[in-house]
Chains A and B, each alone.
Chain A
Amino acid sequence: MTAMTATAVKATPDAAQPPFRRWSVLPGFGPALGFTLAYLSLIVLIPLAALFLKAAQMDWASIWGVLANPRVFAAFRLTFLASAIAAAINCIFGLVIAWLLVRYRFWGRRIVDALVDLPFALPTAVAGVSLSALMAKNGWVGSFFAPLGIDIAYAPPGIVVALIFVGLPFVVRTVQPVLQDFEPELEEAAATLGADRWVTFIRITLPALAPAMLTGFALAFARAIGEYGSVIFIAGNRPGLTEIVPLLIVIKLEEFDYRGAAVIAVASLLISFALLIMINILQRRLGRHHDRG
């Protein structure tokens, strides 16, 4: 996820403001950029504009009417709460796994490293059916919790489980490169000054990793808000109780209530975009920090 902003650094023009582009002997700029923009517009920008126009056709009262519905409100609350819990759990264990992969040498490290990316590669529907089989009352994991009276599958904890799965790689992959580049001399200096390992971690290492953890948290959170495939199998999908926002959109579409669906979609998109802008600002700060250091 960090790749794009890293590439953007070069784009700043020289002090003397050039015209539209800096002169180059290489051919093909026009066709390449033209094709890129046309393709992007046709596939992404114009269809997304259709969504916003659909929602904009409604007046404020009817938009409020859609969003103020208790079922819609419950879905938004559940989606954001479950996403935040899942991202927070991923934040802690993402750090643990990144630490394991960077700092320790053990047999099978490469396999563990590869497995971290499985949630990116495994189709969400497959994750959904296998997680719900695993967490059901008679499943391998669910059967440990059933006697305690805790339901995981077909209850809110199941939603969190699915969202942990889809968000698992984000924190690991944002923290890992930062930890890799982290100067060990800083920790050694702390040790020579008499700090023990824990104090060094809290005062030196964790502050250096915190921005990356925050970025990973935001990425996992944003991904979780839109997640559909893995959740609907394990959630139980009871209205007002275990119904997530993307499912609500699908239900509205199936009822041919395209306007209602558009309003809910735009609301959840705007929140996601606000998050993305926050990530960008964070990453820019991170980049500046790196340049100075």
Chain B
Amino acid sequence: MDRRDRPALRDPRWARGAIFVGGIGFLVLFVVLPLATVAVEAFAKGFELYLHALNDPDTISAIQMTLTVAAIAVPLNCIFGVAAAWAFGKFEFRGKTILLSLIDLPFSVSPVIAGMVFLLVFGLQGWFGGWLREHHIKIVFALPGLVLATIFVTLPFVARELIPLMQEQGTEEEEAARMLGAGGFRIFWSITLPNIKWALLYGVLLCNARAMGEFGAVSVVSGHIRGLTNTLPLQVDILYNEYNMVAAFATASLLAGLALITLAAKSFLEWRYADQLALTRR
């Protein structure tokens, strides 16, 4: 609906100006300028030094670590999201509301606490600390701990995109396939998956952005061992604390680039496949 045809809805000129300047100004101050700062600081000493800063063995191993953690955490949360959406979206059962709110729980837990709980379970003083030590298995201050903390904080992303969508889509198509004799996996591959594929991609995008960018939870369980358990955000922290600004911001620019690509892909999905995303995204 075009608001211009509704004169009663037109704000006075001064109000329109104030809202425009206030809203855009706020976004420029808190969103555009920080982004610009990353770019300017990263290239402050020229393009060559930027590349040189990224070509550091510790930074490269941090990139590898970040990719490894995301490559494990995101598919697992993806499987969890699909399973949860199948159970919650296609069936009616008692206790559903409470279980649904439990899936959202990680969003209301501080990242620091998300990392800390794994120290309490797997750390030296923790429940399994002694046993793990005897069997020479390292969980915290090693890759498994980083993966666990990342899974914790990114757990809801795929599920919360798929559950409302699959509830909304109902079960008629799947039931028809069932009547025609299709088995469970056939129904999923031929009916459900094509219906949810863009929402699934949407959830994976958000999950991945958070998995690669997580700082607090990972910081607690990583132990900050250079070249071994450092992810990209932790590497930014280390370089920044060493006052190595060009390298810190060069590393940060990789993560900022990832954020911008995620935003662009997300906006594209919202625009192109709006009808195939959950109602809340349209």
Contact = CB atoms under 8 A, between A and B. Distances in A.
A50 B87 contact: no
A228 B37 contact: no
Interface residues of B, number: 118
Contacts of A99: 19, 23
Interface in B12-70: 12, 15-16, 19-20, 22-24, 26-27, 29-35, 37-38, 41
B38 A7 contact: no
A22 B9 CA distance: 48
Contact of A7 (B163, B220, B267): B163
B84 A125 contact: no
Nearest to B20: A100
Interface residues on A, range: 35 or more
A199 interface: no
B280 A6 contact: yes
Q: Majority SS of interface residues in chain B?
A: helix
B266 A35 contact: no
A211 interface: no
B260 to A, nearest CB: 8
B160 interface: yes
B24 A188 contact: no
A7 B88 contact: yes
A147 interface: no
A123 B84 CA distance: 27
A47 B94 contact: no
Interface string B250-273: 001001100110111011000100
Interface string A253-293: 10010100110010011001100100010000000000000
22 contacts: A24-B90, A26-B91, A27-B184, A48-B109, A50-B126, A103-B3, A103-B11, A104-B19, A105-B2, A121-B206, A124-B216, A126-B233, A133-B41, A165-B30, A168-B30, A187-B8, A197-B11, A228-B110, A228-B111, A229-B111, A246-B111, A258-B119
Interface of B: 1-4, 6, 8-12, 15-16, 19-20, 22-24, 26-27, 29-35, 37-38, 41, 79-80, 83-84, 86-88, 90-94, 96-97, 99-113, 116-121, 123, 125-127, 148, 151-152, 155, 160-161, 163-164, 167, 171, 174-175, 178-179, 183-184, 187-188, 206, 209, 212-216, 219-220, 232-234, 236-237, 240, 245, 248-249, 252, 255-256, 259-260, 262-264, 266-267, 271, 278-280
